[in-house]
Amino acid sequence: MKHRIVVLGAGYAGAYVAGTLARRLSPADTEITVVNAEPDFVQRLRLHQLAAGQEIGAPQLADVFAGAGIRLRLARVIAVDPERQVVAVADAEGGGELGYDTLLYALGSHAADHGVPGVAEHSFDVSSRPAALRLRERLDSLSRRDEDGSVLVVGDGLTGIETATEIAESRPGLSVALVARGELGAPLSAGARSHLRRACDRLGITVLEHISVEAVEATRVLCTDGIALASDATVWTAGFAVSPIAAAGGLEVTENGRIVVDRSMRSLSHPNVYAVGDSAYAIGDNGRPLPMSCASAGYTGMQATAAIVGRLTGRKIPNTKLEYLGNHISLGRRDGILQMVDGEAQAKPKYVGGRKAARIKAGILKMSLWTTSHPTFGLPKLKRHLTALPDAAAEKTVA
């Protein structure tokens, strides 16, 4: 019987791992299935551009995996049972269960409302393609009005900064404001913070600092000290959260639901489950948890792939890099910031800004899309056969 590998999620991490495993493991010994709710690959790093009105490519996953021997199951994951080693899914035909021998959990993250009243009912976000298109439709309606519309972006992390600057540049007729809980760009170097402020001034973005949001209503946002901010479209970018599926299934998770893994991205509680990307709580080479980011998806994906191949084929498992080098921030299409960090994850004094940083970010996005769209390119053609595997229950007892 073939060893069944099931990959949950076909984002940056899941698509890469699935394609790499298909190239490196013999199809005579393994069966790889990818479960994803949407038929296309979502460029999550560019969803703020999609919302602002730009056209963003979405390669079909069937084309991405064509010829790789990967089974694509278009369905929504609703539960994981690691004791029975099955995944419950729902689709247009009613769904069912998928059994697995090795599970790769890569379901990513979504916008976190932090329990703030009204966020789910009245705000927009850019954490998924449908959400970005919903915001785009709202911005289109505001642009068609005779009077100027107001857009309020809540959250001054990377997503909030990129969303606010993209909307302001693409839709100059709208009034854009950015709400920051603390100082704008606090994690950046002094020079990068100054560059960010100049960009906001140039784009006409109103920056509101040291403000906490208490509730979101249809036409305004209520803040501390009785402040009420008018808003025709409130965009919520105040952090991300993961699905509760892993916790509900009994996997060991952190307080916020991320799967706790060892250095090889293997679940501490269930040895035949691996987690990558935003779903994994992984400690980087600097001793700190890796942030939720595309870069972390790449590093954790490479490590999980090496671990799965090594364990299934009886080879030594290498430690791949788990680094956090810095942030690439787009400020519209012609400006950006490249901020590198040191070993303590603190911003280095120097930064790259302007068109050069924008070109670097554009190159990274292009490379990420190409790599995901060609998951088996450049990998060895020699597909390795599996060796006898230890009993998963016994391994769990030892762990």
Full DSSP string of 79-136: EEETTTTEEEEE-TT--EEEE-SEEEE---EEE--TT-TTHHHHEE--SSHHHHHHHH
Phi and psi, residue 72, nearest 5° = -105, 120
Residue at 158: amino acid letter: L
Letter string b/e over residues 50-72, b meaning 16 or more CB atoms within 10 A of that residue's CB: bbbeeebebbebeebbeebbbeb
pLDDT digits (tens, 9 = 90+) for 225-266: 889 999 999 999 998 999 999 999 999 999 999 999 999 999
pLDDT digits (tens, 9 = 90+) for 14-60: 999 999 999 889 888 999 999 999 999 999 999 999 999 999 988 89
Q: Which of 79, 99, 103 is nearest to 89 (CA)?
A: 79
Please, what is the average pLDDT of the chain?
91
Q: Is the pLDDT of residue 394 over 90?
A: no
Phi and psi, residue 351, nearest 5° = -150, 165
Q: Which residue would you say has higher pLDDT here, 397 or 341?
A: 341
pLDDT of amino acid 250: 97
Confidence band for 374, pLDDT divided at 50, 70 and 90: confident
Letter string b/e over residues 220-253, b meaning 16 or more CB atoms within 10 A of that residue's CB: bbbbeeeeebebbbbbbbbbbbbbebbbebebeb
Contact 279, 301 (CB under 8 A): no
Count of C-beta atoms within a 10 Å radius of residue 82: 22
pLDDT of amino acid 397: 41
